[in-house]
């Protein structure tokens, strides 16, 4: 069973809209080696896990899988922010249902020449479950052979490939909104790479100097270096509410990446960052409420929350 | 940010393996109107939500979306259980790496005539992200127009279609393992149908006698009737750890389904049911550890958890 | 612009339900060489046609394309009839909303072992836009190079392949409902093969004894022989309401199939056969109206048509 | 059975070629919510319709489905016109088979930087069955649950989404060729939205002020306003040649869109506009006839039509 | 540049037709981890290889890739043999164009209940580029990151997964035709697994006891044991006609699989086995030549080969 | 069984990098009518061939199929060369693992605005198995009906379409690297078109003046004219190592293209051109070896080849 808090797993920096960067980041969300894929692969491996005596391995996969749902949320939100406002259209705030095309204006013309046109035509300046070339995410991406060593080996390769692609993404754009998320994911992918490499170490493989794969020297990227100094590449959170995860039996000791750090699984979750709700975009008819609807929405939002508050327990 | 507890959202009854039922249930997991789709659709709608003044609507969608992740876990586990042991192979427990095909035996022969052969060939008697006809899940299923009314209308139709398909699934098999999950999802789909119908009521639509769609009389199905009596069709949990959800401003008052119940959003989550880990299946080489690997796994599992335990906070 | 009459292009014989035959016929509807493909290919070739001086070729393609829409209607209806009632469920006619699964019955159990499970689970004992292996129809099937000779050559190959597949379908089932449509389409595919072969003759190719491709001796199939005797393989209708088609400039003279017949384009359309509407299927919740809805539907249907009748012109 | 007239359902205005607009319009043709999808969805719903007592509902769906074939023809032709001549290549009219690449020229270079390269490489400056991101049309788009209320609800949502996307398309380009078709389809989508909303009204739903969805104020778009004044959003044609449609029993009374108009189903079809045939494009080898072939084509076209004329009946 | 000899890379044993086994083997041909995929992946990795100083690695990949083309030929031919004659139809050999459906017979009825219906309907009792669930092979399967270590790691996982699936296939059928090819591929996959594991050893990884992955004890399968005794799991052929491959610099020394054998790259190719041409299948109209065509074919085949023979050089 | 030589089938000219041309050429590699498709179609037709008396037809298809593998190699390598170095990044050769993004540089920024972003993000400036619109290659492209005449007719149409598309590609770019391969393939496609047309001639068709299709006058393209003068359009190599091909019984006599040449099947293979290995691309982390790995690679490459050389036989 899963729970949610209204916080992002990491902060997204403010910068200008950048639809080309938004499109590139779609690879990290809906691509074959993106966050939707890692998330789904680990959830399926957890559900179908075999071998009660190997619980620490299941817990490791389940914990990373839970983190990936938050990564989907993070990178999806980042893409939305990069798209948001890119048409540079200024609707009149006094008129709840605006008429952006009135008199024949073309405020969405940007869709014809930048990014994926679906971002403006099918979505409303928001993220989509597709890759950077527009291919929809595919269930056949998910790998779950049932063989423990093979699944771990694939997961190691998957995280390494994810990190490789994000290093390439880093080199494609210097937009700060994009880079704050790219850099965070580069470091977290390495933490996960460490997790699967360490699990394979417990099963006999000696990586010696082979890791990290790829040898990216990502620490030369300034935004990444800052996170590495905080040791984020050697931490794994459990995201497990009732403290039953045994992943720490694997995620401990010297990092297989050879950077001299100790792996640490002692924290439940990172601190988190505030979530906000996107502004109305009149030119997209999103959310598309006219004066009447706005009034009904306002009435709903103004309802007294007292009774509800009383019944909710305090949990965190 | 998401969290996990090692519990299923509902109990799965024990019954015989049934690969044909397992395959049928794949529609409810990886089908166009299955749980992976509702989960992804609501997560994307939440990430891309527009209109700060409409927060209760976002919270409603986010909360149902979080529940759907647990539904993916529930139905995926159900499928695994229905497949588990279906080849009727009895490996020798004393030999950690068994040789099921030794002397030319064909313990997996069942794969040629029942269910989806991939359940035995690509997976290892486990769930997959495909539908009942074997089509992989597709990113283009996700609908997120950005227009609030349209998104709610689609969601209503989506939940209704999901319920319709599950009522048909109910009529396809009387395996108790399958039915315990099918029945639970029939009732939860109706709870979600109520949520979106109610949200549209706050925006002006009067459903009168049109709901529920479809008119299934599912209460005539004994397993469903039991859950309806408990009022599960009129409850919506928040799954929100820090009590910030305003979904209760919408999910309240008389049910739009016309069954005379009051909608209730006062609970955070259901009680949950225990999770177990699947047994080894030698004929699948899953998890496939020989004596050496078994020893390494055992060593890892025996590691002292004391330090880790100490550092985890109590949360639930 | 297109028009419709409430008649099928050919009669469908009555026989027992046969879901396996229904599934096989899906290839002829939604397969790569089925009727949806010919229909779409010819409509796109017509829309994109180049060369005003070559109007007879466009008219030929447009006319066959229009016929293919009626073939989609014919084979789709045939599939529906083959599926209809296959679960052998007998609902109580006195209760408009029946409860087929009440007391735990499994009237749709047939879906697990026959045909494509989607016929009962996603559809309601009806045709779907997929092939016999369950693959959805794909836009990339459509071929339209813009080069006249290539397009004609492809169309010839397409019709020949369609006929080949239908001859194989004929050999798979002796259900009369299936065969009445299969046989009709075998003969019409040959009429279209003749059309494209003749068009290529006007452009210089001499087919000598090569046609028909394939050499199927389909005239040995009794149902086909009957239609060949009526000369249906050598007729092409225009389906053109205002008599502007010049296809007859091509579709004339000796048949390239070498059967000694004369090609004839003088008729606008065949006589047609009555259409009926499928019965309710309670076990599918289709159409799924309870007593209240039934009353509303009846009220609508009883409305006076007089005013409407008066305003419609007589056209046919 | 279907018929055709050599007329477009609406006039397409003349303007400059515009390949980027052509590509955007592909969404309206081959996209998930485009005209190919509505057409196929309604044809399948008609073929598989259940419930003889509900004939007016079937006739409504069948009539709109027939109109959608003409919409496919309209938007496909519009795309062809927008692409036609965009390479700005001027072939020598005296040489029937031109050599546009002779001496190494690159007349098709535009394909590398505008629109979908397939428009020039796979097609010949013509429409294709793909969406604006290049995804081929997919059979799994078609929704046909067999449940009447669900099918109507989906159709309502489908038309509303189609209209939303076309309003966004309007805001992307001011090319007159594109806009004449976009505007027409915005208004017709609303007419269909009214049809399905009204059908749901007869089944008990009260839309009050919720319609139209989306609230687009499209009447502020000048080209749309002109058509609204003509009442095109409140008319539904039967396209039924023999006057058997009972759709008028549903499509009547006050429009559910709340614009005060009366719904009117009394006309069989609109007046139509002339069709023309695209010019040769030498740089595409389309139709690609050299002097010899041209002569053969001319001979065919010059054939006496007298006999054919005599045999065709007068129908319209 | 590639060359061919008219020999199979390994002998296929004779046994009864078995369409269910044929369908299962499709996974090994057109599945995500089948021979078409390894072939394409290695050909692309070779074409795009980077790093002139790493030529032995490229040669290793290129050599295995070339072998995989022969594996495609081997498994494809095996599938054809398993399908061939499965309908048990006995056509009259005296009539070159037979009429299997004459008098309404249904010789292809087997297609409705066994295997993939496309084997009889789209193909003619032959192999197809699809997997065992009927999904067509997909270009997005191919992995080629450009990073040497990652590509090798993926290739290792790919071969291991291929071997795992073939071990499962072995357990599904005891048809000798199927098993002769399955067993051969199990052993060759291990040879390739050794190749990529050894390449990673030269780059620093110490596999210790982790290999082979999976631990299958395939040597307990009698047909496999025979091949292992011949040392086929520790040999890699170059398939390089001009002796320029440096793969032997990697493929040498002790096998990483821990079976005590020495890796050996000294042979160019195995001995090969005879190829034969499939018989006519009248019920499929394959090849479908009537008496006239048979005569033309015979005339072509009887042509004097003398001149041609004279001009061909002796190469092997 | 297949063999390889380390030579390209034709020389690729040197020119500047050109990612837009690279993307256009992807159609010729991974498109529906590209080289991967012809290769796979002919290999499957060969494996599944029926009719022992028709061996010359099988040999013809097999020989062309073998050539197509070399075409895949040629066009794939061409695409890699066109992409190689396009980011204009100059890494420091003294540091084996470079840090192209250090200090926040964006050397891969070109990926956002040219070509297919996957060329830089998923691949590493290399070819991929996709078409020019980014669609992955699909197994359902392959046509193999089993009917000899139909297969030959399809193959003729396939080669003609391939040539048509390559003529259009020629008109899209004047990059010499691109054109050297495009021109070669235009001429070889015509050779194959001649092969299938001639095979159909032996089966009775008289093409008269209809060929070549399309009438492209490609001889007006200077690079093509040069190859036509060498007669490359009328030669077919066997690529058969042991001289057993009987394709020359078909591929002989006057060319069906009507250019007055004689078809000639007397050569085994063309001369070939040197292959080179791509340079390191630091900004892609390809191959991504740091100083340690470089040393290990160098050690492997320096290994003594003497023993290996001794054992390889001389073959060519």
Alpha helices by DSSP H, listed for chain F, are 19-30, 35-47, 55-83, 118-121, 148-170, 176-202, 222-229, 291-301, 306-311
In this prediction, residue B273 has a pLDDT band, given cuts at 50, 70 and 90, of: very high
The 3-state DSSP class for residue F168 equals: helix
Separation between Cα atoms, residue D47 and residue B74, nearest integer Å: 37
User: Is 3.30.70.260 the CATH number for C7-286?
Assistant: no
In this prediction, residue B310 has a pLDDT band, given cuts at 50, 70 and 90, of: very low
Q: Which residues of F touch A24 (CB under 8 A)?
A: 111-112, 117, 121
In this prediction, residue C93 has a pLDDT band, given cuts at 50, 70 and 90, of: low
Separation between Cα atoms, residue E242 and residue E219, nearest integer Å: 35
A92, two tokens: 């009149």
In this prediction, residue E75 has a pLDDT band, given cuts at 50, 70 and 90, of: very high
The 3-state DSSP class for residue F155 equals: helix
Residue of chain C with shortest Cα separation from E286: C214
For chain A, state the CA radius of gyration. Answer: 22
Chain C contact for D121 (CB, 8 A cutoff): no
The 3-state DSSP class for residue A262 equals: strand
User: How do the domains of chain C map onto residue ranges?
Assistant: 7-286
Phi, psi of F290 (to 5 degrees): -85, -175
Beta carbons within 10 angstroms of residue A210's beta carbon: 24
In this prediction, residue B113 has a pLDDT band, given cuts at 50, 70 and 90, of: confident
Q: Of E144, E172, E160, E156, which Cα lies nearest the Cα of E18?
A: E172
Tell me, what's the pLDDT at E217?
67
Mean pLDDT computed over C126-132: 97
Mean pLDDT computed over F269-282: 94
DSSP string across C249-316: GTS-EE-TTSSSPEEB---S----EE---BPPBGGGTBS---HHHHHHHHHHHHS--HHHHHHSPP--
Tell me, what's the pLDDT at A263?
97
Mean pLDDT computed over C95-100: 64
- pLDDT above 80 for A101: no
H or E stretch covering B4 = strand B2-4
Chain B contact for A31 (CB, 8 A cutoff): no
Higher pLDDT, C279 or D215: C279
F215 with D102: Cβ contact below 8 A: no
A315, two tokens: 């949990």
Tell me, what's the pLDDT at E313?
40
C-alpha distances (whole Å) from D214 to each of A236, B55, D35 are 45, 20, 18
Cα angle, residue C48 at apex, residues C45 and C49 outer, rounded to 5°: 75
Separation between Cα atoms, residue A135 and residue A137, nearest integer Å: 7
H or E stretch covering E161 = helix E148-170
Q: What is the pLDDT of residues A116-160, one digit of tens each?
A: 999 999 999 999 999 999 999 999 999 999 999 999 999 999 999
Q: Do chains B and D touch (3 or more CB pairs under 8 A)?
A: yes
Smallest Cβ–Cβ distance between A204 and the set E147, E156, E209 belongs to E209
Q: Which residues of A touch B51 (CB under 8 A)?
A: 277-280, 287, 289, 297
Q: Which residues contact F222 (CB under 8 A, 6 or more apart)?
A: D103, D104
In this prediction, residue A90 has a pLDDT band, given cuts at 50, 70 and 90, of: confident
Superfamily of domain B7-311: Ferritin, core subunit, four-helix bundle (1.20.1260.10)
Chain F contact for E139 (CB, 8 A cutoff): yes
Tell me, what's the pLDDT at A314?
38
Q: Which residues of F touch E263 (CB under 8 A)?
A: none
In the numeric block, the tokens 């149908």 are attached to B193
Separation between Cα atoms, residue C188 and residue C234, nearest integer Å: 9
Q: Which residues of D touch C238 (CB under 8 A)?
A: 312
Region of residue A273 (left: phi > 0; alpha: psi -120 to 50; beta: else): beta
Chain F contact for C154 (CB, 8 A cutoff): yes
CB A102 within 8 A of CB A118: no
CB E28 within 8 A of CB E165: yes
Q: Of F155, F128, F72, which Cα lies nearest the Cα of E69?
A: F72
DSSP E49: -
DSSP E261: P
Tell me, what's the pLDDT at F213?
86
- pLDDT above 70 for C35: yes
Neighbours of chain F (3+ CB pairs under 8 A): A, C, D, E
Tell me, what's the pLDDT at C107?
87
Q: Does the pTM of the predicted model rise above 0.90?
A: yes
Chain E contact for F206 (CB, 8 A cutoff): no
Chain D contact for F169 (CB, 8 A cutoff): yes
C-alpha torsion F90→F95→F98→F99, nearest 10: -100
Separation between Cα atoms, residue B218 and residue B212, nearest integer Å: 11
The 3-state DSSP class for residue E168 equals: helix
Higher pLDDT, A47 or B213: A47
- Reading chain D (316 residues) residue by residue, the pLDDT tens digits are 999 999 999 999 999 999 999 999 999 999 999 999 999 999 999 999 999 999 999 999 999 999 999 999 999 999 999 999 999 887 765 566 667 777 778 888 888 877 799 999 999 999 999 999 999 999 999 999 999 999 999 999 999 999 999 999 999 999 999 999 999 999 999 999 999 999 999 999 999 988 998 887 677 899 999 999 999 999 999 999 999 999 999 999 999 999 999 999 999 999 999 999 999 999 999 998 888 889 999 999 998 654 444 443 433 3
Q: Of F61, F79, F67, F77, which Cα lies nearest the Cα of F17?
A: F79
**By CB neighbour count within 10 A (0-12 exposed, 13-18 middle, 19+ buried), where does A236 fall?**
buried
Q: Of E128, E44, E7, which Cα lies nearest the Cα of E79?
A: E128
CATH fold of E7-285 reads Ferritin (1.20.1260)
Percent of chain B with pLDDT over 90: 79
For chain D, state the CA radius of gyration. Answer: 22
Alpha helices by DSSP H, listed for E49-92, are 55-83
DSSP D34: S
Separation between Cα atoms, residue A60 and residue A58, nearest integer Å: 5
Window from A25-29, D156-160, D274-278, F220-224 with minimum mean pLDDT: F220-224
- Tell me the CATH number for domain D7-288: 1.20.1260.10
Smallest Cβ–Cβ distance between B167 and the set C113, C285, C290 belongs to C285
Tell me, what's the pLDDT at E151?
98
E126 with F48: Cβ contact below 8 A: yes
Indicate which of E38, E45, E50 best probes the interface with F, i.e. most F CBs within 10 Å of its own CB.
E50
In this prediction, residue C111 has a pLDDT band, given cuts at 50, 70 and 90, of: confident
Q: Of D131, D119, D199, D139, which Cα lies nearest the Cα of D165?
A: D131
DSSP string across F8-75: ESS--------HHHHHHHHHHHHSTTSHHHHHHHHHHHHHT-B-GGGHHHHHHHHHHHHHHHHHHHHH
C-alpha distances (whole Å) from E52 to each of B242, D203, E150, F70, F97 are 57, 73, 18, 21, 16
Q: What is the pLDDT of residues F27-75, one digit of tens each?
A: 999 999 999 999 999 999 999 999 999 999 999 999 999 999 999 999 9
Please, which contacts does F84-87 make with residues 24 or more away whose CB atoms are closer than 8 Å? F84/F17, F84/F125, F84/F278, F84/F279, F84/F281, F85/F17, F85/F125, F85/F279, F85/F281, F86/F17, F86/F18, F86/F19, F86/F22, F86/F110, F86/F114, F86/F125, F87/F111, F87/F120, F87/F125, F87/F283
In the numeric block, the tokens 């492809």 are attached to C154
Mean pLDDT computed over C56-85: 98
- pLDDT above 90 for A307: no
Q: How many interface pairs between A and D have CB atoms less than 8 angstroms apart?
A: 91
Separation between Cα atoms, residue F264 and residue F248, nearest integer Å: 8
Separation between Cα atoms, residue F297 and residue E58, nearest integer Å: 12
């Amino acid at each position: 069973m899963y729970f949610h808090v209204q916080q992002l797993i990491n902060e997204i920096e403010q910068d200008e809209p950048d639809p080309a960067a938004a499109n590139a980041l779609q690879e990290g969300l809906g691509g074959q080696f993106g966050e939707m894929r890692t998330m789904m692969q680990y959830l399926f491996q957890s559900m179908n896990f075999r071998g009660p005596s190997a619980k620490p391995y299941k817990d490791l996969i389940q914990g990373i899988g839970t983190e990936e749902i938050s990564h989907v949320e993070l990178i999806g939100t980042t893409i939305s922010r990069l798209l948001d406002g890119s048409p540079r259209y200024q609707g009149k705030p006094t008129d709840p249902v605006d008429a952006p095309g009135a008199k024949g204006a073309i405020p969405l013309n940007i869709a014809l020449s930048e990014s994926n046109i679906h971002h403006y035509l099918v979505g409303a300046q928001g993220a989509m479950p597709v890759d950077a070339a527009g291919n929809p995410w595919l269930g056949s991406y998910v790998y779950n052979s049932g063989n423990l060593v093979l699944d771990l080996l694939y997961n190691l390769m998957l995280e390494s490939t994810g990190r490789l692609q994000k290093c390439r993404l880093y080199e494609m754009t210097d937009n700060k909104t994009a880079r704050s998320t790219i850099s965070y994911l580069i470091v977290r992918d390495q933490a996960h790479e460490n997790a699967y490499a360490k699990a394979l170490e417990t099963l006999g493989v000696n990586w010696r100097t082979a890791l990290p794969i790829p040898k990216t020297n990502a620490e030369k990227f300034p935004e990444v270096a800052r996170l590495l100094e905080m040791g984020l590449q050697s931490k794994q959170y459990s995201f497990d509410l009732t403290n039953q995860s045994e992943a720490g039996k694997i995620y401990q000791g010297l990092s297989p990446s050879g950077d001299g750090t100790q792996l640490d699984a002692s924290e439940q979750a990172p601190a988190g960052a505030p979530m906000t709700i996107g502004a109305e975009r009149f030119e997209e008819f999103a959310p598309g409420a006219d004066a009447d609807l706005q009034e009904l929405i306002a009435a709903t939002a103004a309802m007294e929350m007292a009774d509800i508050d009383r019944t909710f327990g305090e949990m965190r």
